[in-house]
A and B are shown apart, each in its own frame.
Chain A
Amino acid sequence: MTLSTLNSCNHDDWFDRDSKSLITDAQLWNDPKLLTSLVANYYDRMPTLHGVFNTGGMTELDDAMWSGHRDQNWRNDYQFGDDYGRYWDYGLIRDLNLSLENIDQFSTQLSDAQRKQYKAEIRFIRAFVYFELVKRMGGVPIVTTQLIYDFSGDPTPLQVARAKEYEVYDFIYKELEEIKEDLTVYNASKTRANKYTALALESRAMLYAASIAKYNNLMASPITTAGGEVGIPANMATGYYTKSLAASKEIMNGPYALYNENADKGANFYDMLNKKTGTEVIFAKDFVTSLKVHRFAYDNIVRSLTEDNESSSTISPSLSLVESFDYLDGSKGTLHDKNGAGNYVAYQNINDIFANKDARLFGTVIYPGTSFRGRAVSIQAGVATWGTNGAYQFTAAPQLGQNYASGGLWTGFDGPLYDAQDVSNTGFYIRKFVSDAPAASTRGTSAANWWPWFRLGEIYLNASEAAFELGQTVDARTYVNKLRERAGFPANSVSNLTMDIIRNERRVELAFEDHRYYDLKRWRIAHLVWDGSENDPNAVVYGLYAYRVVRPGHADDGKYIYERVRPARFRKARFFRMANYYASISQDVINKNPKIVRNPFH
């Protein structure tokens, strides 16, 4: 016993073994596999407001209302608070800065090319985060290194003041220009940032900067702060539009093409985002069954097609969105539910009122008389009988899917009902992004379709808008018309391009893709469109209810008429105030850093 304690080992390195539960800096920053998984974590944390399958966020604007569980009916009954869209994630910025510094310090075993490429990816994500910050908060502190406290009792070196709004946009542009060539190694990937992803962010960010420079200064009283933290000088607009257009052109000349794999234009538009084929999508957040999934299909599947025992039908698209899709002959998209004399127009089939619409309507919205996953949907609000008072009387069945006394369907299995949950309240369902894969709407399997951060369709619209603002009208028209051809319009369908047409194109092409809130903000028209007025069809979400006419002996018997309704669950018109153009900065942030200037109106 005593002898054994005296025993010693002459191999010192026996004690000096690598830990099995700790990863050292030297290991992490020199192992491409570990580094890739670290970067994957950053990709996963990329910020969004209404995007990445955020069902709730998508129901907070004028494109849709919430018709899911009643516990979230506040989305139909709220006004944008001072902090709506507030974003201040300097934790993520710090992580990114830390990684950049550690690669410089520790990655000694990596090749120069490897180091460059990881750093470029991280800097892309950092630029993306700064773009998210500037579009919601205005100019923010630009921090590009770790801030380390020296325990001197004086925290002022850590307190970085806000940069001017245009300085943040310039920072984003400069970063992307510097790294874009280092990212070419990923040009074949759609889920890692490549050269064209950097250009796509340039295209979008520069367009935002340009339109703020232009439209903010066209307001009766521009929104600015004395130090320029908010507001961009008007004379910078042309420069930003030029940069945006240059980036867009480079992408359009790149290896991408508008998705065109299905002869049915409506189904093609749906497939474009649902299938992971083609070369339209530039950069996406990918999902894989049984590994990383989302529940957008569970949230939003059509009621009668649900495969789970709860939820469905959460997003009810609005009538104003449906009407913003033009007719293929170029006329405005207003539905012809009544004639000039104010009488109902009766249609033979329930979907005839939507005939000859922009094919993107089919790809975005499920309306009465269409199908999903190969099965017909059953959307019909009720029947219309001719009353003794000489007007139609509308009745709905006490239960969904019931037949009317005289035969035929009364109210469809998919509603709509004007005051119920988990069934459409507007008469429409969402098709875009709702996966049609088997069991995608179950919680067990869930959906695995991807989220497009950037796609070529947006780039065409960015290019068109920038070209139009720069006076290059012919080019601007070409880009829009090319995109509209994919939606089923004939060639050169727009001959007299206006800014209103471009804005409407953005609404219909990019619906539910996290653009509309920012688009209306940068054009400085959000307070006019969402004016809070209860009489305004843009600020209030309306629905369109289809009724079958039961009027024996009359020519319209068995046909369908449509009634515009305001669902009872929709309580308060969308109201965007001047104070919402820039979200308020948390008092907590100001307490910690007195150099932070408040945003206007806060």
Chain B
Amino acid sequence: MKIKFLSLLVAFASLLVVGCKYDNFEAPKSTLSGRVVYEGKAIGVRNNGPQLELWQDGYPLRSAIPVYFDQDGSFSVSLFDGEYKLVRKGDSPWLQQATDTVLVQVKGNTTIDVPVTPYFTVTNESFQKNNNSITANFTVNRVVGTANLEFVRLYLGKSVLTDQVQRELRVDANLANVAFGQPTSIVGELPDNLKNLDYVFARIGVKATVSGEYYYTAVQKIALK
């Protein structure tokens, strides 16, 4: 009886040791990386903000693969080799192009620049520190003719993750003074909690009324001492 029990135990235990090759999927090995660009320049986004979507045809059920951005507009996704469709979604600082997908061939490590059409861009930005204030000079350009400006804002923060959500100071530009293609400036007084730091991070954001998300310039580190 005891031997029978033991042999049964061994039989069952050995089942646990045996692996099945069908339940072990291989992880995707290829990487698709790239940036969202307009006129060759990457577009800054909010940390944890806009996304792209990847779809693959040829399977009975479809489901989207979300693509997350770094705040400088770059992304990378692990994928299997194959053909994917990349969708530029709404609620982003650029035009939604849900039906105009970008075909992507992924084979090994692939790099791609995704062209998008932002509603507005900011160019020629520069930041100066004068005493206890930061002056930002820049030019706002309208790219989509029908877009309306909602906010032009200067953000100051303690970390490189500075945007509409994460920031220490936000200063709005007077929209009446913002002329497209013409230099504009915003002056931000450093608050007490930033004044004594060695450096702060600055960024400009522009928002169109049709979207919840801002177009951001690259984060710039400004030495205070």
Contacts and interface: CB of A to CB of B under 8 A. Distances in A.
Interface of A: 79, 220-221, 527, 531-535, 573, 575, 577-579, 587-588, 590-591, 598, 600-602
B90 A600 contact: yes
Contacts of A79: 48
The 5 closest A-B pairs by CB, nearest first: A220-B209, A578-B212, A601-B91, A221-B210, A532-B165
B212 A577 contact: yes
A586 to B, nearest CB: 10
B89 interface: yes
B192 to A, nearest CB: 13
Interface in B22-73: 48, 61-64
Contact of B211 (A532, A575, A578, A598): A578
Given A220-B148, A221-B209, A221-B210, A587 B165 contact: no
A575 B165 contact: yes
Given A527-B212, A578-B212, A587-B64, A601 B150 contact: no
A602 B66 CA distance: 11
A591 B59 CA distance: 11
Contacts of B170: 535
A591 B165 contact: no
A497 B2 CA distance: 87
A518 B58 CA distance: 40
Nearest to B46: A532
A62 to B, nearest CB: 16
Contact of B91 (A531, A533, A578): A578
B150 A220 contact: yes
B26 to A, nearest CB: 24
A600 B170 CA distance: 29
B55 to A, nearest CB: 10
A382 to B, nearest CB: 24
B121 interface: no
Contacts of B209: 220-221
Nearest to B165: A532
Interface in B152-176: 164-168, 170
A531 B213 CA distance: 11
A579 B91 contact: yes
Interface of B: 48, 61-64, 89-91, 98, 148, 150, 164-168, 170, 209-212
B165 A601 contact: no
A221 B48 CA distance: 23
Contacts of A591: 61-62
Contacts of A533: 164-165, 167
B91 A534 contact: no
A579 B63 CA distance: 18
Contacts of A590: 62
Given A534-B165, A591-B61, 18 more contacts: A79-B48, A220-B148, A220-B150, A221-B210, A531-B164, A532-B164, A533-B167, A535-B170, A577-B91, A578-B211, A579-B212, A587-B62, A588-B61, A590-B62, A591-B62, A600-B91, A601-B89, A601-B90
A305 B145 CA distance: 63
A590 B150 CA distance: 34
A365 to B, nearest CB: 28
Given A533-B164, A533-B165, A220 B210 contact: yes
Given A527-B212, A579-B212, A601-B89, A573 B61 contact: no
Contacts of A531: 164
Contacts of B166: 534
A527 B212 CA distance: 9
B210 A587 contact: no
A590 B48 CA distance: 26
Contacts of A534: 165-167
A600 B211 CA distance: 11
B63 A587 contact: yes
Contacts of A578: 91, 211-212
Contacts of B210: 220-221
21 contacts: A79-B48, A220-B148, A220-B209, A220-B210, A221-B210, A532-B164, A532-B165, A533-B167, A534-B165, A534-B166, A534-B167, A535-B167, A535-B168, A573-B165, A575-B165, A578-B212, A587-B63, A588-B61, A591-B61, A591-B62, A601-B91
Contacts of A532: 164-165
A600 B63 CA distance: 17
Contacts of B211: 221, 578
A579 B96 CA distance: 13
B52 to A, nearest CB: 13
A11 B212 CA distance: 79
Contacts of A600: 90-91
Nearest to A573: B165
B193 to A, nearest CB: 11
Nearest to A600: B90
A348 B166 CA distance: 39
Contacts of B212: 527, 577-579, 601
A590 B64 CA distance: 12
B89 to A, nearest CB: 7
